[in-house]
Amino acid sequence: MASCLVCCIIVTSLFMSLSFASAQQGRAFFVFGDSLVDSGNNDFLATTARADAPPYGIDFPTHRPTGRFSNGLNIPDIISENLGLEPTLPYLSPLLVGERLLVGANFASAGIGILNDTGFQFLNIIHIYKQLKLFAHYQQRLSAHIGKEGAWRHVNQALILITLGGNDFVNNYYLVPYSVRSRQFSLPDYVTYIISEYRLILRRLYDLGGRRVLVTGTGPMGCVPAELALRSRNGECDVELQRAASLFNPQLVEMVKGLNQEIGAHVFIAVNAYEMHMDFVTNPQDFGFVTSKIACCGQGPFNGVGLCTPLSNLCPNRDLYAFWDPFHPSEKANRIIVQQMMTGSDQYMHPMNLSTIMALDSRV
Ligand SMILES: *[C@@H]1O[C@H](CO)[C@@H](O)[C@H](O)[C@H]1NC(C)=O
Ligand SMILES: *[C@@H]1O[C@H](CO)[C@@H](O)[C@H](O)[C@H]1NC(C)=O
């Protein structure tokens, strides 16, 4: 009886995952945001925000740098992998032509934020409104292949990921003491301001045809090795940056709820990146990490000073480190994050997780 039930469950779930994969086939994936999701656009730009030298990419299938801020795959790659899709190419890649346009595109650019002035120190990067402009341009190119209506439908049915906000703190408000923005706004007022600007960006994405959009907030910025090196004596997370993250993330969820209500559909899904990171930052051993404080690649205290370069310390086994470089999670940590996106509870994915979305969308 029991084995029969198990058998039945296995058959059902096998059937579900098969129909699931086939329903996802042909679905496009678009990515917007910063270095957490940039798959190499900045390699084509004259900017200092780049990951184009070893040991970046050391665990990538080619073992070479790709512009991803990871030892291997990044979050968009792993989402594509989970959905059975080809990885999306950076929009600036010359390989993104013809049939490959149907797979989608990655518009993200390391260093950018919600605000236009965030990341100005990196010079030539693709700010978010420029990313959206390129998305409109992409749609014109797609129309040339499959017609205007086909292109619109393809975009409507796509999955979209947008990751913004971290740089508005670490590379703007807290970049230097007495920064322009910190003199202009108290922290709570700044958070309110950038949330209202994020809302406008999401609204624009909707107007451009986005109908399933994962929206991530910031991780625990005060706990990344770079900030531990800069602001922490004993490795405790920086209180001020943690306060910023804990103000920003709940307001993001509320903003997303309000926007969905206004639209009358579950277009936007709030991804609680803060909680997803905090699990392995607080209990790294539970996830197979030896540490969440020391970056695998870097130098100085916590390997958190400066950038990850060919001359940096490098850990032998990247899977044992939650952080790859002073700011970015390792591929292993990215996998934990994407797993939570796929199947996490309401606490992580609001109003629903990616498996639920995929099951819903495959029915229409
Ligand atoms: C940011 O730039 C875009 C496009 O250049 C503009 O439409 C938008 O109003 C700007 N945002 C702010 C807050 O200045
Ligand atoms: C998330 O996904 C799992 C399936 O993997 C499902 O059982 C669960 O109910 C989902 N949670 C929510 C809140 O949608």
Ligand 1 neighbourhood includes 196 CB (under 6 angstroms): no
In whole angstroms, what is the distance from residue 4 CA to residue 118 CA? 58
Residue 169 C-alpha to ligand 1 middle, in angstroms? 18
The helix (run of H) or strand (run of E) holding residue 361 is helix 354-363
Pairing of strands 268-271, 349-350: antiparallel
- Looking from the CA of residue 116, the nearest atom of ligand 1 is 1
In whole angstroms, what is the distance from residue 99 CA to residue 68 CA? 24
Q: What pLDDT is stored for residue 364 in this prediction? A: 60
Q: Provide residues with CB under 6 Å of ligand 2.
A: 343, 345-346, 352-353, 355-356
pTM (2 d.p.):
0.92
Closest residue by Cα to residue 215 from 289, 153, 268: 268
Residue 201 C-alpha to ligand 1 middle, in angstroms? 10
Query: Residues with Cβ < 8 Å from 222, sequence gap 6 or more?
Result: 231, 237, 238, 239, 240, 241, 242, 243, 244, 245
Q: Is the dihedral of CA 319, 321, 327, 332 positive or negative?
A: positive
Q: What pLDDT is stored for residue 11 in this prediction? A: 45
Q: Over the stretch 155-186, which tens digit does the pLDDT of each residue have? A: 999 999 999 999 999 999 999 999 999 999 99
Of all protein residues, whose CA lies closest to atom 5 belonging to ligand 2? 343
The helix (run of H) or strand (run of E) holding residue 8 is helix 2-24
Query: 3-state SS of 243-303?
Result: HHHHHHHHHHHHHHHHHHHHHCCCCEEEECHHHHHHHHHHCHHHHCCCECCCCCEEECHHH
| Amino acid identity, position 17 | S
* Catalytically annotated residue among 34, 77, 238, 325: 325
Q: Write the burial class of residue 48 (CB in 10 Å: 0-12 exposed, 13-18 middle, 19+ buried).
A: middle
All structural domains of the chain with their residue ranges: 26-284+335-363
Ligand 2 pocket test, pick from 276, 356, 358 with the greatest ligand atom count within 8 Å of Cβ, gives 356
127: annotated active-site residue: no
Q: What pLDDT is stored for residue 17 in this prediction? A: 44
Q: Which DSSP state fits 362?
A: H
Q: What pLDDT is stored for residue 120 in this prediction? A: 87
In whole angstroms, what is the distance from residue 165 CA to residue 197 CA? 11
Residues in the chain, pLDDT under 50: 1-23
319: annotated active-site residue: no
Cβ–Cβ < 8 Å for 28, 300 = no
Of all protein residues, whose CA lies closest to atom 14 belonging to ligand 2? 352
What architecture does CATH give domain 26-284+335-363? 3-Layer(aba) Sandwich (3.40)
Which SS3 state, helix, strand or coil, does residue 169 take? helix
Residue 182 C-alpha to ligand 1 middle, in angstroms? 20
Cβ–Cβ < 8 Å for 269, 256 = yes
328: annotated active-site residue: yes
Both structure tokens of 83: 């959905």
Of all protein residues, whose CA lies closest to atom 6 belonging to ligand 1? 129
In whole angstroms, what is the distance from residue 155 CA to residue 27 CA? 9
Cβ–Cβ < 8 Å for 74, 36 = yes
Q: What pLDDT is stored for residue 362 in this prediction? A: 87
Of all protein residues, whose CA lies closest to atom 10 belonging to ligand 1? 116
Q: What pLDDT is stored for residue 24 in this prediction? A: 57
- Looking from the CA of residue 351, the nearest atom of ligand 2 is 13
In sequence order, what DSSP letters do the residues of 53-100 get, joined into one string? STTTTTTSTT-S--S-SSSS--HHHHHHHHHT-PPPPBTT-TT--GGG
Residue 313 C-alpha to ligand 1 middle, in angstroms? 40
Both structure tokens of 250: 């709940």
Q: How many Å is the Cα radius of gyration of the chain? A: 20
